[in-house]
Amino acid sequence: MELRRLCAKLSQGETAPLPVPRVITVYQHCVAHGIPGALINGLHYNDLQLLVMSLNIAEARRQLKQHIRDKNLARGIRDVREISAGEAVKFLKGNS
């Protein structure tokens, strides 16, 4: 009976993901990031989860920067540089 309901949900086109144990998700991210099996076996699960989360955050930041660069290029803006808070304050005060 449970299998029928699951098949019915899948055939209705529901977009909700199927429940997957967290450990499987962590291992999927390990494969996606290319973390070696020896490191996966050697790390405690919590440390492995922290490593995966930090790699996911770094990847998200990289994608965001790339998106901003692409958006700026589409607008014709080529030279954008990162500045510190102190440099921004000097510029806004007119002390540049």
Q: Which of 67, 3, 56, 1 is nearest to 26 (CA)?
A: 56
pLDDT at 12 (0 to 100): 67
Residue 81 has pLDDT above 70, yes or no: yes
Is residue 1 in a domain? no
Neighbours of 48 (CB within 10 A): 20
Residue 55 has pLDDT above 90, yes or no: yes
Is residue 88 in a domain? yes
pLDDT at 10 (0 to 100): 65
pLDDT single digits (tens) 19-45? 888 888 899 999 999 999 999 999 999
Is residue 8 in a domain? no
Give the number of domains in the chain.
Answer: 1
Q: What is the pTM of this model?
A: 0.61
Which structural domain, as residue segments, surrounds residue 73?
Answer: 19-93
pLDDT at 57 (0 to 100): 96
**Residue 94 DSSP label:** T
The pLDDT-based confidence of 59 (bands split at 50, 70, 90) is: very high
